[in-house]
Amino acid sequence: MNLKQKVMTLDEFTIQELRNYPGATGQLSGLLRDIGLAAKRVNVEVNKAGIADILGEAGRTNVQGESVKKLDEFANEQFINSLETSIYCCGVASEENENFIPFTDEHSMKSKYVVLLDPLDGSSNIDVNVSIGTIFSVYRRLSPEGSPCELEDFLQPGTQQIAAGYIIYGSSTMMVYATRRSVQGFTLDPSIGEFCLSHPNLKCPVESDIFSVNVGYYHLYEAKIRRSIDHFMARNENDRIYRHRFVGCMVAEIHRTLIQGGIFMYPAFGKYLSGRLRLCYECNPMSFIMEKAGGVAMANGKQRLLELKPAQLHQRIPIFIGSKKMMDTWQHIVNE
């Protein structure tokens, strides 16, 4: 171990960024630190979930009609409370809440940003100790500063994101966030309770041999999607071209894709004819991260996902995202 090596914490990194951009107000840096604080609180509960009364169902459904886990509720409360007590956010929209939440105190209304959250992605994995995560995105408000935020502040196309990120709670806890300049990865050091820069300037590999899709719904996908899956599942003389992975947690899927490359597909199917994942809370932030890391994100074979303007907070959409060359291959197949 190099004892002279400087380990930069999230706070130190955001302060350094402020010094590099003298015109910055510090609001975005403060916002990211508040999100990091809430993530550390959630991480503590995730790590002791097996011995605490926090596993299992909460006994209600969310606005999506899905069963809410106890840890879902805890995570939702932690992130909203952290942002509400901050002075850097004027409102939050969460996957767990039907409507957005404006913060109406004097300092919050003067802030420039709104935040959209999926507080706990992959919550069906909670009871079986598989990776789960948090997804967030930040937009500059459109409504006048000094007044309560409005719905239009949250219904902006993904191209307008100022920052986006995720926290993955797994064998180690990582926070990855992207601004318009770069993608940075921080790993939580439990010995000091700080996120430390571990993956600077992340780039998604241009090529890979990993594809991820729920093949259990294969017969429900449209023909062109089945055709692309058939291509990725084909064998050569060595009995291998591509490797298949599927976790059931978008954060885990995107994190692996960002680090190792590949393609993640979540097509429309069955009763989810408009797609299943949420445009505002999941697809936009992950697409922003992937593009800033050199990858590609599509809503279909021809449409860039980030260019879509949301029609409602809880809108669902198909997503195809990953390494540039694998995405090029996929687009060629589905557009034949």
Residue-level pLDDT at 116: 98
pLDDT grade, residue 70 (50/70/90)? confident
At a CB cut-off of 8 Å and minimum separation 6, what does 204 contact?
Answer: 257, 258, 261, 290, 293, 294, 295, 322, 323, 324
To the question of whether residue 291 is assigned a binding role by annotation, the answer is no
In this structure, are residues 162 and 113 in contact, taking their beta carbons and an 8 Å threshold? yes
Q: Whole-angstrom Cα distance, residue 258 to residue 168?
A: 13
Q: Does domain 10-199 have CATH number 3.30.540.10?
A: yes
Lowest mean pLDDT among 6-15, 33-42, 244-253: 6-15
pLDDT grade, residue 237 (50/70/90)? low
What average pLDDT does the segment 197-224 reach? 96
To the question of whether residue 120 is assigned a binding role by annotation, the answer is yes
Q: Whole-angstrom Cα distance, residue 314 to residue 2?
A: 48
Residue-level pLDDT at 16: 85
To the question of whether residue 123 is assigned a binding role by annotation, the answer is yes
pLDDT grade, residue 211 (50/70/90)? very high
CB-side neighbour CA atoms (13 Å) of 296: 22
To the question of whether residue 81 is assigned a binding role by annotation, the answer is no
Tell me the CA distances in angstroms from 90 to 7, 147, 266, 313, one per residue in order.
32, 9, 32, 17
DSSP notation for 117-171: EEEEETGGGGGGT--EEEEEEEEE-SSPTTS---GGGT---GGGEEEEEEEEESS
Residue-level pLDDT at 54: 57
Per the listing, tokens 């609001």 go with 27
What average pLDDT does the segment 229-257 reach? 88
**Angular region, 262: left φ>0, alpha ψ -120 to 50, beta rest:** left
At a CB cut-off of 8 Å and minimum separation 6, what does 199 contact?
Answer: 174, 176, 184, 185, 186, 187, 259
Reply yes or no on whether the pLDDT at 50 is more than 70.
no
Burial category of 59 from C-beta neighbours within 10 Å (exposed 0-12, middle 13-18, buried 19 and up): exposed
To the question of whether residue 43 is assigned a binding role by annotation, the answer is no
To the question of whether residue 55 is assigned a binding role by annotation, the answer is no
Report the top-level CATH class of 210-335: alpha beta
Reply yes or no on whether the pLDDT at 119 is more than 70.
yes
Reply yes or no on whether the pLDDT at 300 is more than 60.
yes
In this structure, are residues 119 and 75 in contact, taking their beta carbons and an 8 Å threshold? yes
Residue-level pLDDT at 1: 42
Looking at every residue in the chain, the average pLDDT score rounds to 91
User: Measured at the alpha carbon of residue 197, what is the angle toward residues 185 and 5, in degrees to the nearest 5?
Assistant: 145
Q: Whole-angstrom Cα distance, residue 74 to residue 178?
A: 25
Residue-level pLDDT at 46: 85
Residue-level pLDDT at 86: 87
pLDDT grade, residue 128 (50/70/90)? confident
Reply yes or no on whether the pLDDT at 212 is more than 70.
yes
Q: Whole-angstrom Cα distance, residue 116 to residue 106?
A: 21
Domain coordinates in residue numbering, the chain: 10-199, 210-335
In this structure, are residues 87 and 30 in contact, taking their beta carbons and an 8 Å threshold? yes
To the question of whether residue 108 is assigned a binding role by annotation, the answer is no
Query: What secondary structure letter does DSSP report for 264?
Result: E
Longest alpha-carbon distance in the chain? 67
137: which 2 tokens?
Answer: 């995105």
Dihedral sign for Cα 103, 105, 111, 112, please: positive
Reply yes or no on whether the pLDDT at 140 is more than 60.
yes
**154-177, pLDDT tens digit by residue?**
999 999 999 999 999 988 999 999
Reply yes or no on whether the pLDDT at 53 is more than 70.
no
Query: Which of 334, 204, 197 has its CA nearest to residue 265?
Result: 334
**144-156, pLDDT tens digit by residue?**
999 999 999 999 9
**314-328, pLDDT tens digit by residue?**
999 999 999 999 999
Answer with the residue of higher pLDDT: 289 or 19: 289
Determine the straight-line distance between the first and last CA of the chain, rounded to whole angstroms.
Answer: 53
To the question of whether residue 121 is assigned a binding role by annotation, the answer is yes
What pairing do the DSSP bridges indicate for beta strands 296-298 and 243-244? unpaired
H-type helices in the chain, by residue range? Answer: 10-20, 27-47, 70-84, 106-109, 223-233, 250-260, 284-292, 324-334
Name the percent of the chain in helix, strand, coil, to the closest 5.
35, 25, 40
